[in-house]
Amino acid sequence: MSKQQSLRPEIGERVNLKHYAPDYSGDYEHKDAARDQLKDNRERLRDLQEVLYAEHKHALLIILQAMDAGGKDGTIRHVMRGVNPQGVRVTSFKAPTAEELDHDFLWRIHQHTPGRGEIGIFNRSHYEDVLVVRVNELVPENVWQARYDHINAFERLLTDSGVTILKFFLHISKDEQKERFEDRLNEPDKHWKFSRGDLAVREQWDHYMAAYEDALTYCNTEWAPWHIVPANKKWYRNLVISNTIIRALEALDMRYPDPEPDLDQIVIPD
């Protein structure tokens, strides 16, 4: 049995990503060993989402952060396969618009948080404002430094309002990113996924790792903890994330609403 790698860093612990192996796959040697569990997880997640939607008391917010080619889109596609799209909303945050820049940095985020009964998925998120903004020096240091506290307070507000927050950093290696970029260049139907701008970001890899380590350290709270997901192996990434989502939903101890009285007396007319 392989040595277990922690998924959640300790609250208050300084995160060093070198201590988290992106190739780690637990006790699974290959994806065939996890295939049945992944299938079972999709079915269980489908059932739990139905109760979440019906009960209409809780909400779930899933935050996905990663370097380019880290697997955010693939995670959404594979983990959420089979759930009812009526109760799931995916938001991809791009560069802020002029209108969004006229407000505080969380203004555009709050509008997309899930309501009761919903699952919201953020493909990138408010953490871009302590990542790309920091690395590219788009605001002064004292501005992005203050945002850690703002983010923690914002996430506390959401959890106090009935939103369960699951934050996943999809941790891939620089070598794995190179392979995925090369795949996009070698396969014509993936050319659309490649941008020359991705190479400029890749050159800033070490700066981004430092920024991620700070975000994972300063915004790792009891109410909204981070999960560092080994993501070089896509199938293991999907297994870890689906397991985590299922545990979080099961912990809500949800129930279907009570039916209207005397339903057994109703006769449907011809």
SS (H, E, C) 17-31: HHHCCCCCCCCCCCH
Sheet holding 163-171, edge to edge: 88-92, 119-123, 59-66, 163-171, 226-230
- Which among 166, 176, 172 is positioned nearest to 246, based on CA atoms? 166
65: pLDDT strictly greater than 90: yes
Sign of CA dihedral 227, 232, 238, 239: negative
Structure confidence at residue 4 as a pLDDT band (50, 70, 90): confident
Rounded-to-integer distance, Cα 160 and Cα 158, Å? 5
Structure confidence at residue 3 as a pLDDT band (50, 70, 90): low
Rounded average pLDDT over 15-29: 93
Query: Cβ neighbours of residue 21 under 8 Å, at least 6 residues apart?
Result: 5, 230
Structure confidence at residue 245 as a pLDDT band (50, 70, 90): very high
Q: What pLDDT is recorded for position 61?
A: 98
Rounded-to-integer distance, Cα 52 and Cα 119, Å? 9
Q: What pLDDT is recorded for position 58?
A: 98
Q: Look at residue 110 and give its three-state secondary structure.
A: helix
Rounded average pLDDT over 146-162: 98
Helices 205-218/141-160 angle, 10° precision? 40
Rounded-to-integer distance, Cα 242 and Cα 246, Å? 6
Rounded average pLDDT over 28-56: 92
pTM of the model: 0.94
Return the residue matching tokens 């007319």. 269
23: pLDDT strictly greater than 90: yes
Vertex 72 angle, CA 59 and 159, to 5°: 25
Tokens of residue 15, six digits: 């995160």
Mean pLDDT, the chain, whole residue set: 94
1: pLDDT strictly greater than 70: no
Rounded average pLDDT over 95-123: 97
Q: Which of 6-15, 27-36, 203-212, 236-245 has the lowest mean pLDDT?
A: 27-36
Return the residue matching tokens 């408010």. 126
For 202-226, the pLDDT digits (tens) are: 999 999 999 999 999 999 999 999 9
| CATH 3.40.50.300 corresponds to the domain 17-250 | yes
Structure confidence at residue 189 as a pLDDT band (50, 70, 90): confident
